[in-house]
């Protein structure tokens, strides 16, 4: 079989590094065409030496110049490009078969969309693309014949246990016609599931990024602590699987062993289990429809011992409630939610906003933007994103 030719968008991040770890295990199956990263030039340099990509993309010219000099000194022939247009170019390059979309945040949307429009096999880790522009992205992916493989562990689990015909063409049918009653999206509950409510205001960035089960980038770690991550994932599932919001139930499962489930009309519930290691869903996406070695440890059920499940607490996790509300409101509300959340999380990590200020800011921005946005085009969605960021900055400024 001809090897897959990959662009890894966000190769220096947590998902990017895990992707390259899997790629290195199967040199006969995968070749790297392009790598991209915003910062961490030394890491990009080392990745270029290890994988010899044709291109590496950074955000701005000064960084490109530095990396160019470093690579030249190391004897590398990788060409250094920079800027957003270059990200889109390496995501849609005719030489590429497969794109790992692992940039964090709304910044990942345009290159991910470019990959879908070029009909690539898109390994979708960047959930913000679907939160910002779910309908448009799914329409374009379908129209252009892209293959979408969800990498988010929950969505990867759901994909694995859905009927194959449905998961490969969800918009050609309905969940109901596929015999599915509902999707059970599991959530760990993060580090603050049991923390006394009165102390949540004192949560520090260090505490918030310390996830009990998963090692991830900083933004998604904060999202997991607030459960905004689960809210974003409900929206992601709505678009990926052509599901209605009422078809999706969140189930808190603190061990992160069951990665999600699908309940069928006959009462059967199918689940995918595994160690909490992102190389499992990444390898599934890379090798699909085959299976390949991921490097993940075998699941030791005896040491796991028990699996617990509980209902989510919306009073403790107002971000999850806000995400459900935005999804029900429709239009560009989820784009506003996503942008406000990105500003809030960055401010929290910067110690400009307290932990409980995150939902307060998002709530205020959603209310302020209500009736002022629409979702009919990519430009309209980008306007909604920009308006929400502007309002979020103003909200933060007013509290300084």
What is the closest distance, in whole angstroms, from the C-beta atom of residue 166 to ligand NAD in the complex? Answer: 22
Minimum separation from the CB atom of position 125 to Mg ion (A): 9
Which of ligand NAD, Mg ion, none does residue 107 bind to, with CB < 5 to 8 Å depending on kind? ligand NAD
Q: Report helix, strand and coil shares of the chain as percent, to nearest 5.
A: 50, 15, 35
What is the SS3 assignment for 180?
strand
Is the distance from CB of 264 to CB of 166 less than 8 angstroms? no
Output 154 or 247, the one with its CB closest to Mg ion. 154
As beta bridge partners, residue 187 has: 252
15 binds ligand NAD (CB under 6 A): yes
Alpha-carbon 127 to chain mean position: 3
Alpha carbon 324 to its chain's center: 18
Q: Which residue from 3, 24, 27, 39 is in contact with ligand NAD, where contact means CB under 6 A?
A: 39
- Which of the choices Mg ion, ligand NAD, none does residue 205 contact, using the CB cut-off of 5 to 8 A by kind? none
Q: Which of 285, 280, 281 is nearest to 297 (CA)?
A: 280
Does the footprint of ligand NAD cover residue 340 (CB under 6 A)?
no
Q: Which stretch binds ligand NAD (CB under 6 A): 102-110, 162-170, 198-206, 313-321?
A: 102-110
Q: What is the DSSP secondary-structure string of 34-70?
A: EEE-SS-HHHHHHHHHHH--SEEEESSHHHHHHHHHH
Asked if residue 274 binds ligand NAD (CB under 6 A), the reply is: no
Interactions with ligand NAD, residue window 115-134 (CB under 6 A): 125-128
CA 43 → CA 3, 17, 48, 67, distances in Å?
Answer: 25, 10, 9, 10
- All residues at 6 or more sequence positions from 75 whose CB lies less than 8 Å from its CB, including other chains: none
Pairing of β 248-252 and β 55-58: unpaired
Contact flag: residue 107 with ligand NAD (CB under 6 A): yes
152 binds Mg ion (CB under 5 A): yes
CA atoms of 227 and 93, how far apart (whole Å): 36
Binds 127, which of ligand NAD, Mg ion, none (CB < 5 to 8 A, cut-off by type)? ligand NAD
Rule CB under 6 A: say whether 38 interacts with ligand NAD: yes
Q: In the 3-class helix/strand/coil scheme, how is 226-292 assigned residue by residue?
A: HCHHHHHHHHHHHHHCCCCHHHEEEEECCCCCEEEEEEECCCCEEEEECCCCCHHHHHHHHHCCCCC
Q: Does 362 bind ligand NAD (CB under 6 A)?
A: no
Kindly state whether residue 148 participates in binding ligand NAD, applying the rule CB under 6 A: no
Query: Closest separation between CB of residue 155 and ligand NAD, Å?
Result: 9
Q: Is 263 in the site for ligand NAD (CB under 6 A)?
A: no
Q: Report the alpha-carbon distance of residue 88 to residue 112 in Å, rounded.
A: 8
Binding at 277: pick from Mg ion, ligand NAD, none (beta carbon under 5-8 Å per type): none
Residue 128 near Mg ion by CB under 5 A: no
- Of residues 11 and 186, the one with the C-beta less far from ligand NAD: 11
Partners of 80 in beta bridges:
56
* Size of site (CB under 5 A) for Mg ion: 3
Residue with smaller CB distance to Mg ion, 12 or 153 = 153
Query: Footprint of Mg ion on this chain (CB under 5 A)?
Result: 152-154
Query: Footprint of ligand NAD on this chain (CB under 6 A)?
Result: 10-16, 37-39, 59, 102-104, 107, 125-128, 152, 214, 216-217, 219-220, 278
């Amino acid at each position: 079989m001809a090897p897959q030719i990959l662009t890894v968008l966000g190769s220096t991040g947590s998902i990017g590094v895990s992707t390259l770890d899997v790629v290195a295990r199967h040199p006969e199956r995968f070749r790297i065409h392009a790598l991209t990263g915003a910062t961490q030039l030394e890491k990009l340099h080392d990745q270029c030496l290890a994988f010899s990509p044709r291109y590496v993309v950074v955000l701005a010219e000064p960084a490109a110049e530095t990396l160019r000099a470093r690579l030249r000194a190391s004897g590398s022939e990788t060409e250094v490009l920079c800027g957003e247009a270059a990200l889109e170019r390496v995501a849609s390059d005719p030489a590429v078969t497969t794109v790992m979309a692992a940039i964090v945040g709304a910044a990942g949307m345009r290159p991910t969309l470019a990959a879908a429009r070029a009909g690539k096999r898109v390994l979708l880790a960047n959930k913000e693309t679907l939160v910002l522009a779910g309908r448009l992205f799914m329409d374009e992916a379908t129209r252009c014949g892209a293959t979408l493989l969800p990498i988010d562990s929950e969505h990867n689990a759901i994909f694995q246990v859905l009927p194959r015909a449905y998961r490969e063409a969800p918009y050609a049918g309905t969940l109901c016609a596929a015999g599915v009653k509902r999707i059970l999206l599991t959530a760990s509950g993060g580090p603050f599931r049991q923390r006394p409510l009165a102390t949540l205001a004192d949560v520090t960035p260090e505490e918030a990024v310390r996830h009990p089960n998963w090692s991830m980038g900083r933004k998604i770690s904060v999202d997991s602590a607030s459960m905004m991550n689960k809210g974003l994932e409900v929206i992601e599932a709505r678009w990926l699987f052509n599901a209605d919001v009422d078809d999706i139930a969140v189930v808190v499962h603190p061990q992160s062993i069951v990665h999600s489930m699908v309940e069928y009309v006959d009462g059967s519930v199918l689940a995918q289990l595994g160690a909490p290691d992102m190389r499992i869903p990444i390898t599934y996406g890379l090798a699909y429809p085959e299976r390949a070695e991921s490097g993940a440890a075998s699941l030791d059920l005896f040491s796991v011992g028990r699996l617990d499940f509980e209902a989510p607490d919306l009073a403790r996790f107002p971000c999850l409630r806000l995400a459900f509300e935005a999804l029900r409101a429709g239009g560009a509300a989820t784009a506003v939610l996503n942008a406000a959340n990105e500003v809030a999380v960055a401010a929290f990590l910067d110690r400009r906003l307290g932990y409980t200020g995150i939902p307060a800011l998002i709530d205020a921005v959603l209310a302020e933007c209500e009736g002022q946005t629409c979702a009919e085009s990519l430009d309209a969605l980008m306007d909604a994103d920009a308006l929400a960021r502007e309002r979020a900055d103003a909200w933060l400024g007013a509290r300084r």
